[in-house]
Structure 1
């Protein structure tokens, strides 16, 4: 189905939000839109909302499987407003959001669905899940000038770290069970990345509730949603492998000519398998086996 706006979708398609998990894919450009959609359909989301500019096209094999909503971030529409609108319309439902050329991986995702994972996560009394956004980039930028290639995808195998997240409202003492995570291209090319956008943590999976709001920094107004684990043990985390930063660095005139290759001595080919991310410590299975 196609909708002229998010308001029209909620007016006519709100019953589709009665059961989750629901994925929201925000399309910024026409790069790897089809593969992003197919990947998340295969992950087991009950519904997939694709918010994209009206002039973009979708391949025939996915048109009938998603709900296309006219939405243009380039024209100034804010993805946080859209997420918060869906939150208000779907209390109690697990939601997820990402952008095109981003792909969700979670522990054992090759044999288990997103619904199975979130059912376990909810049993541990968790309403949100920390996701690490792991930068992908093409190994050969001469062949792939937009830095995107699924067949030649690379990632950093080290260089990730965390710092305490201080609370200005509490004399800058560290917040409980919250950290700021860094690494990847946003760490290596930080001179081209504004400081507020250097984090690689995103609460991309969460259960909607009354009064909950997503903020522009990918955190929520409920501090418990921003925690990486419960007080008594480690919880599941997931990873979103993303070409988004690499695309931006090559598209930006201020950085593109400074970068001949993203590869360095800690680059490794991405294997498109959760085991690689688990082995590198880039997501956590918690108590789920």
Structure 2
């Protein structure tokens, strides 16, 4: 299904939002677009929305199954604005958002749907879920100049850390149950990454409600949505494995000439399985077994 823009989708396609969860994918280029959309369809999302420029092709088998919405991904605040408008049209629906060449993994995702996970999460009185954006990168940048290669994808097995998230409204005291997480390529090549973009945490899964708004730093205007756990025990977390930072470092003129490889002594092949992410501590099952 094709829509001329977000206004057209909200006028003609709003019924797709009636039953969640719904995945929103912002397509910035042609890197693994079809793979990204198929991955999230197979994860169990009831609807997949692809906000993408008309010049980017879409595989024939996806034309009738994905809601394609014409969009300029490089307009200021494009993703933030789109997520907020779509979520406002469907209060109560669970949403997930990401970019192309990013893939959601959650505990036991090989045998359980995202809907089953979110049903459990909601039973724990949670309306949002913390996800860690874990960098992927090709093993050989000579054969994959844009750093995207599914077959040779690498991941950092160490180098992740968290810092207290300060609250400016309360004399910079740490916010309760909130942390700023760092690591991956944004940490190893931080000289090429603005400080405001070095965090790897993102509230990618959330249940819409009136007045809720996504902010530019991937947090929400409701501080409880930004917490990693409830007050009484640990909750589920998930991971978004992503080629996006590697692509950007290879595309940006200020960084591409200084990077011959992203591999280092802590690089390991990504196994495309939730067990690896669980073993590395890059997501948590909480009370879900």
TM-score range, shorter chain: over 0.9
Kept in 2: contact 1:71–1:77 (CA 8 A): no
Q: Which residue of 1 aligns with 2:78?
A: 78
Aligned-CA RMSD value: 0.7
Q: Which residue of 2 aligns with 1:239?
A: 239
Kept in 1: contact 2:104–2:241 (CA 8 A): yes
Q: Which residue of 1 aligns with 2:275?
A: 275
Compute the TM-score of the two structures, normalised by the length of structure 1: 0.99
Q: CA deviation at 1:57?
A: 1.2
Q: Which residue of 2 aligns with 1:150?
A: 150
Q: Runs ≥4 in structure 1, deviation > 6 angstroms? A: none
How many aligned positions are there? Answer: 289
1:59 correspondence with 2:59: yes
Q: Which residue of 2 aligns with 1:89?
A: 89
**Unpaired runs of at least 5, structure 2:** none
Q: CA deviation at 1:15?
A: 1.5
Q: Hey, what's the Cα distance between the residues in 1 that align with 2:182 and 2:74?
A: 26
Counterparts of residues 244-263 of structure 1 (less than 5 Å): 244-263=244-263
Q: Which residue of 2 aligns with 1:163?
A: 163
1:192 correspondence with 2:214: no
Q: Hey, what's the Cα distance between the residues in 2 that align with 1:44 and 1:87?
A: 19
Q: Which residue of 2 aligns with 1:219?
A: 219
Kept in 2: contact 1:182–1:199 (CA 8 A): yes
Structure 1 pair 147–113 and aligned structure 2 pair: CA distance change class (3 A): same
Q: Which residue of 1 aligns with 2:264?
A: 264
Kept in 1: contact 2:77–2:216 (CA 8 A): no
Q: Which residue of 2 aligns with 1:176?
A: 176
Q: CA deviation at 1:224?
A: 0.3
**Unpaired runs of at least 5, structure 1:** none
Q: Which residue of 1 aligns with 2:8?
A: 8
Q: CA deviation at 1:75?
A: 4.7
Q: Hey, what's the Cα distance between the residues in 2 that align with 1:31 and 1:119?
A: 32
| CA-to-aligned-CA distance 1:77-132 (integer Å, 9 cap, x gap) | 61101000011101000001000000000000000000000000000000000000
Counterparts of residues 14-33 of structure 1 (less than 5 Å): 14-33=14-33
Structure 1 pair 92–135 and aligned structure 2 pair: CA distance change class (3 A): same
SS at match of 2:181: strand
Compute the TM-score of the two structures, normalised by the length of structure 2: 0.99
Q: Hey, what's the Cα distance between the residues in 2 that align with 1:213 and 1:102?
A: 22
